[in-house]
Structure 1
């Protein structure tokens, strides 16, 4: 075991989450130590340092990234919240800040995966994690604790770090499970579940649920940490349906394999068949045949296949009452096992949907509302966390919270009052719903978490898995992945109870907002439901940024930028040129946040040697880069006015780099900027998330310009945020500009980084 990766004790036992209305500092410290230890402990299974630099999944990063990443997120969020004044290692806090959420299964490997990128040594990263651990221990000891801990409390950032660590315990376990088995060693204290229960289920019958009304969503005042997508409330009517008593098992899925389910196009969605064909998938990823199937690993492991039967290596330390051998083995976390037929199958959304289609007769996946309906009687949220949410009680009656280090027989744990087994735990359950927020309101620390995934390309998973702990194992947990992603995830069958000629409105929420992908355009979001019989609930994305990705929004901003002699970006650029002259600031580099279609940054390109121009809206940036490359863009406005967006004369567009950011990542701070300009606060979801980083990316004695079209962001409103971060307002004024509604007034505040 690679014990040197531990900065504390090894542990595979999880504490329950904390009640934020009554927790003590000792309880917070214990929960932090437990979170930190759990994540580090799973890495002790790697045989040696070299395995940290392997890529178990070509769509992800090497394991060294995930080992460091959680510590970096603690630091980054604590800095934003003001609990940490000085960074620990800014190079690491740039390098390990952000992972990947690739757009499709055939993305090329991230450049950091290919071997040319020089990752730090394991020893250096262990030392970094040790420094972060001691820093957080000190913060807990020395920071005054005010209860209850709410979103408005800076302690919220610490709990975000702890729950994020627990998410990555699961992420890392999925990746380690994909490694060649000879690169891992099962740690002491890791126990697999029994192969079978005393009473192996002979069938998986459908259990009827009468039509009902359900409500789901986490109250904002509930005394536990939650992620942004959990908050809000949805009330909906659920028509009568039936769902399978058990999760679909390996044994049941084996019948789909025997029926050549992976080779029959008619069972697969269009997207699913493209994935299956590209990956040449013939069975679930964690099944092992003897045919040398593609592994999906990356970089040095790209030619590896786990589909080779070992001559002697079959783990024998689990209870196996079935001596029959099958054509498939099973990859558990660290071992190859005989196929556990009564354990739930691990598949992605595409495989689950293909199985449903093979079963025929209207079978599908559950909706999110139906999953809430099969949970049976639950205590109301007002009864407090220990009564209403089992994970808080410490009395676990599901296969979650690391009761076992694997899935378990689907009937090993008791069923609920409606007769359903494993509503929580064992494996996550794919649903038909596309991921979306339950409300528009969010929090500045969350800006880089859920909202980028409200794009119609991610489907919700519910219920948690055997390794879900903390908030992940809560009744409120709702996560999502792209449909081809691999997780400890499975499914149960569902079917609407209806007359043959009825068209039922199913409480399945699908996102209809078109999302423009930089360099690719808009990809069609085809639904996989039988729309002749089922009508889903169509909703707009709750990510407000995506609503600017429409052609109509593009035409509007093109008119605003290029349709007037003194348009808003022209006025901002002129003001910035005056600031350079009057304040004698350096002109090496500038950053323009809210670049739109690029007129402002290009106008300023003759003043600065380098200019980074960023925005959240991909369609705007795509157009900006076309104009930058000399292509004129012509539009007809609603009033019949003809506007041509063209490259400014005497500009130096080669000095401008356009990039899409959903928040200000640390990579923006690699080079500190002489001048930082922010012009789009009115169209951001969380303005504070952008404002908090301005001082950290602007050099000492450099200037920050905040330009507000609405006048809302004036000196008085900005002082509490920018003043606390070391920026001093040196000037505030109103400036007139031209817009579609005539003459307008914008407020400008100029801040110096002292």
Structure 2
């Protein structure tokens, strides 16, 4: 992946980029500030990574692609970190296997923070002399680190849920106000030719390009997200026990994994699903908040049960193009947050923030897609196989990180990410 080509930056713009760099780095530190070395080291499953690894990997990105390649005479903090904290960049050589990241009892968390401070100091010292390409990579690195901020929260939630005591790492947030969403309504979408992809108005990842024309058949989208209350009705109606709602692979997954409800749900003594484990521990289900932590298979099955379907990426993006991508429930500061109930209103809502929204579209290249040359070209393109697109961001996505063209992607069985459902139907 490559950042969009930036113009030569005036001093004020340079200052803005440095301010952004500082704020992004500070937020990551804040998310991990309360963690002990043990809490930052443990890995709960192969898909997740320790917080310590996220802290170091996001730093490795700046050290490798900015300082090493663009600052003369730079000396790496520790030569072994090139192996320990490379994620998947084949062009950067051998790396620690993902499933082994939880074995990093060394370096210590203290040393990882020292690494972050070392790299940050060198970035700031070199700021005035950095070439244009280095500034482009810093912009890319900030967006990359914002992705890891959400991953940190995803992985910490799974870690604490998986641990014997299930002790939360974050302070419980205030009780959410009781809000009863309005009955679901359908909003008719645009028909015919429509533009989708990066609109060239700001930063975008390479997978969002090139902008191109697609065709929208008659359709409508739900005006809000599916709620926990509605999902519990699906469960009580036997949704997880009836193969007719499920894709073949999904039904095999449900049976082999004994899936009965969204991840992090549990029953009471009367066998009712009443609680959910969040970043701040166990709490009663907020029944009218958006359901989250469901897989593509579950989202697709629910949609069939509801007599609907999942939206295509083009349908969702067409609906979202003229909405404010920063207006929603996002991550604004360190601490535990939750998706929030819909407060009602006219038209389509909750497009941005709260929960990522599964689409029916495969994560595949757009017509004319070209990955960047070099190691950063491995960022997206090589993952365009077997995964589905999610849109809109979540309560754990940093505000300002997403846009209508943004493409998140996960495998259909994965559900530790903060993913929910918006329904669609053909007209």
TM-score for both structures, normalised by structure 2 = 0.85
Instruction: Report the equivalent of 1:527.
Output: none
Instruction: Report the equivalent of 1:94.
Output: 83
Q: Which of the residues 377, 386, 406 maps onto 1:447? A: 377
2:210 is equivalent to residue 232 of structure 1: yes
Q: Please say if residues 214 and 372 of structure 1, whose CA atoms lie closer than 8 Å, have aligned partners that are also in contact.
A: no
Counterparts in 2 of 1:272 and 1:80: CA distance versus 1, 3 Å: farther
Shift of 1:422: 0.8
Whole-Å separation in 1 of the counterparts to 2:303 and 2:328: 25
Shift of 1:376: 6.2
Q: How many residues align?
A: 404
Q: Which of the residues 487, 506, 509 maps onto 2:417? A: 487
Instruction: Report the equivalent of 1:427.
Output: 355
Whole-Å separation in 2 of the counterparts to 1:414 and 1:132: 47
2:316 is equivalent to residue 371 of structure 1: yes
Instruction: Report the equivalent of 1:613.
Output: none
Q: Please say if residues 229 and 450 of structure 1, whose CA atoms lie closer than 8 Å, have aligned partners that are also in contact.
A: yes
Q: Please say if residues 329 and 340 of structure 2, whose CA atoms lie closer than 8 Å, have aligned partners that are also in contact.
A: no
Whole-Å separation in 2 of the counterparts to 1:20 and 1:429: 37
Instruction: Report the equivalent of 1:398.
Output: 328
Shift of 1:170: 0.6
Deviation track 1:336-363 (CA, whole Å, cap 9, x = no partner) reads 2211111111111111011112223xx2
Relative contact order, higher structure (CA 8 A, sep 6+): 2
2:284 is equivalent to residue 338 of structure 1: yes
Q: Please say if residues 193 and 405 of structure 1, whose CA atoms lie closer than 8 Å, have aligned partners that are also in contact.
A: no
Greater percentage in helix? 2
Shift of 1:401: 4.4
Instruction: Report the equivalent of 1:176.
Output: 156
Counterparts in 2 of 1:484 and 1:21: CA distance versus 1, 3 Å: farther
Deviation track 1:483-513 (CA, whole Å, cap 9, x = no partner) reads 122311111111111xxxxxxxxxxxxxxxx
SS in 1 for 2:396: coil
Whole-Å separation in 2 of the counterparts to 1:171 and 1:114: 15
Describe how 1:380-395 pairs up with structure 2 within 5 A: 390=324
Counterparts in 2 of 1:145 and 1:99: CA distance versus 1, 3 Å: closer
Greater percentage in strand? 1
Q: Which of the residues 186, 191, 194 maps onto 2:170? A: 186
Whole-Å separation in 2 of the counterparts to 1:74 and 1:328: 44
Shift of 1:371: 0.5
* Structure whose alpha-carbon radius of gyration is higher: 1
Instruction: Report the equivalent of 1:477.
Output: 406
Deviation track 1:15-67 (CA, whole Å, cap 9, x = no partner) reads xxx99966533222221111011112111243x22112222334333332222
Q: Please say if residues 366 and 493 of structure 1, whose CA atoms lie closer than 8 Å, have aligned partners that are also in contact.
A: yes
Shift of 1:111: 5.1
Q: Please say if residues 194 and 215 of structure 2, whose CA atoms lie closer than 8 Å, have aligned partners that are also in contact.
A: yes
Deviation track 1:200-233 (CA, whole Å, cap 9, x = no partner) reads 124212222352431011145x3x3321111211
Whole-Å separation in 2 of the counterparts to 1:210 and 1:92: 50
Whole-Å separation in 2 of the counterparts to 1:453 and 1:175: 20
Q: Please say if residues 245 and 305 of structure 2, whose CA atoms lie closer than 8 Å, have aligned partners that are also in contact.
A: yes
Q: Please say if residues 317 and 405 of structure 2, whose CA atoms lie closer than 8 Å, have aligned partners that are also in contact.
A: no
Whole-Å separation in 2 of the counterparts to 1:289 and 1:58: 27
Whole-Å separation in 2 of the counterparts to 1:258 and 1:490: 19
Q: Please say if residues 65 and 137 of structure 2, whose CA atoms lie closer than 8 Å, have aligned partners that are also in contact.
A: yes
Instruction: Report the equivalent of 2:338.
Output: 407
Structure 1, 202-211 or 157-166: larger mean CA deviation: 202-211
SS in 1 for 2:401: helix
Whole-Å separation in 1 of the counterparts to 2:418 and 2:241: 24
2:264 is equivalent to residue 286 of structure 1: yes
Whole-Å separation in 2 of the counterparts to 1:180 and 1:284: 17
Counterparts in 2 of 1:58 and 1:281: CA distance versus 1, 3 Å: farther
SS in 2 for 1:365: coil
Structure 2: 5+ residue runs without aligned partners? 1-5, 90-96
Measured on the aligned residues, the alpha-carbon RMSD in Å equals 3.0
Describe how 1:452-471 pairs up with structure 2 within 5 A: 452-455=382-385, 457-469=386-398
Deviation track 1:659-702 (CA, whole Å, cap 9, x = no partner) reads xxxxxxxxxxxxxxxxxxxxxxxxxxxxxxxxxxxxxxxxxxxx
Q: Please say if residues 402 and 469 of structure 1, whose CA atoms lie closer than 8 Å, have aligned partners that are also in contact.
A: yes
Counterparts in 2 of 1:377 and 1:119: CA distance versus 1, 3 Å: same
